[in-house]
Structure 1
Amino acid sequence: MLQTKRTIDTPLLINFPAGSAPKEIGKRLGNLFAKGKHNGKTLGYAETFTWNGALKYAEAAKDNELLLPLKTGFESFFTTDKNFLPVMDHVDRNMFGSLPLTLYLITKDERYREMGKPYADSQWEVPEDASISAKSWAEKGYSWQTRLWIDDMYMITIIQMHAYRATGDMKYVERAAKEMAMYLDELQRLNGLFYHAPDVPYFWGRGNGWMAAGMAEVLRFLPESSPYYSRIIQGFQTMMASLKKYQTEEGMWRQLVDKPDCWIETSGSAMFAYAFIMGVKYGWLPVKEYGEAARRAWLGMVTYINPDGKVREVCVGTNKKNDMQYYYDRRRNTGDYHGQASYLWCTVALLEE
């Protein structure tokens, strides 16, 4: 039986001014994605997560008009585009399985579960040609795809949580939680934020966003009796307190979270907003204090959406690098799926009951 947790309603996260209601924003961004999604290619993780967000928005809003093209657009992966299915050999590719599993959860069509589940299982099935390092992680009970980049804590957890929801098997929750607890021990600093990697001592915005959103996904389904629950909830609450401190007056966060001269970055800001919303709704954070911060974040975020539905000031895909200036100099895109995805997640979090 699936673990479920009660959510808390608060007017702070319900009543929004015209033009900023989550249903309005979700429809705009969801329709934009439905028009320009996959066409004869392998999906990258950012596009996958945007598709996920659009589907979940359509379900939460009961928007069947949007749901139809999002479902039919996936059909080619069973036929003509079968060769574009990502290989199950890396965290950035295995997360693809979350998309067919989302479709399974919405439609209960068994084809989607059969396609998606192996992407979760193979993260713990060590291939013969795996590196010594990969085998070493597996021997300790972690995914052989472990690399200690904070990005991993969304890539791994999202596919494992979807597999749990599609099967009811708690092994997916427990192994994701064990992995998360280890990443917390290795990468979280005393201020609650996370280095991009052990050898990259910078608090990159979207990287921290992956971590914040990943913890929220695990905590939704992790029983309080789990040996990893106390570590993860403590790590989450410590991070959220730090993020509240670094939130700008307009409600946003910066490309390097702790650098006041760094530029505002929208994808990470949306991920932090998502974590705040989830923390308030699930009772992990004080309602008034963080509800107000989440509301300010959302109202700040919507000012960065262009009239055509594209989010601006989105950092491009970013590998780790031990060079602070590298993060300052990253290109800023408009309409980049990293931003479109995390904005859609927020609409879903605000709409879900």
Structure 2
Amino acid sequence: MSKNQILSVIAFISGFMIVGQGSVKAQSKEADLKNWPIGTSPKEIGIRIANRFIITPHTNFNKQGPPKVITYPETCTWYGALTFAKQSNNKELVRKLANRFEPLFGEEAKMIPIPDHVDYSVFGAVPLELYMQTKGKKYLDLGLSIADKQWGPPEGPRVKAESHGFYNQGYTWQTRLWIDDMFMITAVQAQAYRATGEVKYIDRAAKEMVFYLAKLQEPNGLFYHAPDVPFFWGRGDGWMAAGMAELLRSLPKSNPNYERIMKGYKDMMASLLKYQAPNGMWRQLIDDPEAWEETSSTAMFTFAMITGVKNSWLDKEVYGKAARKGWLALITYINENDEVREVCEGTNKKNDRQYYLDRKRNIGDLHGQAPLLWCATALLR
């Protein structure tokens, strides 16, 4: 090859590299998940919501008076505050969140939920996160006892006849085929895997997720609230979206269920794109244009999309735009007390469209505070 030919090849390669670099830099401002207007960044918003949680007493959602045990909305908010503290390198916030936990080893010990139901077992995600950040063995012991109980022999007053059948097939005896479960179950099992490195935990969660996908995901990628309730309820689908994202970010690609879960996740994300309102929000009933714009579902879907973009599972331009719009819309619902508005109250299921449209719109409900913290964390990862 002549000297001129060599120079031509070098020039071609250099030009290709410049174009390649340019294409990366050419990502539009509308899809940018790093640069934010003053007052809207994940660090600024996250610390406001986390500090609000610090001063919030134990909450008995949907009921008057103090709770008998820690409820799952509090668990999910606590977990979100801890992960935000880690990603923002806020040691003081970790200390405050650990101090909130300390009475549970003493005078508030009875408030630790008995892990005989998915809504109670998810609590294990909090001590496992505290262990990973503080290395306190008491947190690890508590968290693993809950994760192991979930796949142990059926036990407790909530056990139903079918529980033994699920257990004998390698699923948790807490299986009930509600879409909420796929955050509640996968969160604690994924956390146990992150804390120990033992693949049995993440394998359990992946097998369970595939079972739920096969039973519950509709052809359009979304999920009915229940097989007998053919409505795409926002927060219900949000639990699935967040659960898949949480699982996939730690699931080894070598896991035999990885591709199936990724397909379920991508199918759902593609469908959600079609139903995002022009202002960035999603609705109480996802596909119903007359339904009100709801914050907890919007935060969960936004979290799932941020996680997909950050991990290169999703197109950065397409889904980056959707995630940025979701975040910027969502934070306009935070009031002067750092409480999120327009949060659907905790709900049972009912085969009645009007039932969902008429659900109470809460302010400061931890169902809404929690996923906002997950979003802030994901944006900082």
User: Do the structures match in fold with TM over 0.5?
Assistant: yes
The 10-residue stretch of structure 1 (183-192 or 124-133) with the greater mean CA deviation from structure 2: 124-133
Residue 35 of structure 2 corresponds to: 15
Residue 123 of structure 1 corresponds to: 150
Residue 85 of structure 1 corresponds to: 112
Alpha-carbon distance change, 156 to 128 in structure 1, aligned in 2, over 3 angstroms: closer
Per-residue CA distance 1:225-273 (angstroms, 9 max, x = gap): 2221111111100100000110000101000000000000100100000
Quick one: which amino acid aligns to residue 353 of structure 2?
M
TM superposition shift of 1:127: 2.7
Correspondence 1:147 to 2:167: no
Pick from 328, 337, 344: which aligns with 2:357?
328
Q: Counterpart of 1:233 in 2: which secondary structure?
A: helix
Pick from 76, 79, 82: which aligns with 1:52?
79
Q: Counterpart of 2:354 in 1: which secondary structure?
A: helix
* In 2: Cα distance, 1:120 partner to 1:189 partner: 29
* In 2: Cα distance, 1:285 partner to 1:69 partner: 35
TM superposition shift of 1:128: 5.1
* In 2: Cα distance, 1:204 partner to 1:170 partner: 33
* In 2: Cα distance, 1:277 partner to 1:76 partner: 35
* In 2: Cα distance, 1:250 partner to 1:244 partner: 13
Per-residue CA distance 1:156-212 (angstroms, 9 max, x = gap): 000000110111110111111111011111111111100112221110000100000
TM superposition shift of 1:283: 1.0
Percent identity between the aligned chains? 55
User: Does the 8 Å CA contact 1:77/1:85 hold for their aligned counterparts?
Assistant: yes
1:1-353 paired onto structure 2 within 5 Å? 12-38=32-58, 41-127=68-154, 130-352=159-381
> Gapped runs of 5+ residues in structure 1?
1-7
Paired residues, number: 345
* In 2: Cα distance, 1:144 partner to 1:108 partner: 30
* In 2: Cα distance, 1:89 partner to 1:253 partner: 33
Normalised by the length of structure 2, the TM-score is: 0.88
Q: Counterpart of 1:312 in 2: which secondary structure?
A: coil
Quick one: which amino acid aligns to residue 175 of structure 2?
T
Q: Counterpart of 1:330 in 2: which secondary structure?
A: coil
Quick one: which amino acid aligns to residue 53 of structure 1?
G
> Gapped runs of 5+ residues in structure 2?
1-23, 60-65
Residue 4 of structure 1 corresponds to: none
Quick one: which amino acid aligns to residue 324 of structure 2?
R
The 10-residue stretch of structure 1 (162-171 or 223-232) with the greater mean CA deviation from structure 2: 223-232
* In 2: Cα distance, 1:312 partner to 1:128 partner: 39
Q: Counterpart of 2:222 in 1: which secondary structure?
A: coil
User: Does the 8 Å CA contact 2:154/2:163 hold for their aligned counterparts?
Assistant: no
Quick one: which amino acid aligns to residue 64 of structure 1?
K
* In 2: Cα distance, 1:85 partner to 1:47 partner: 12
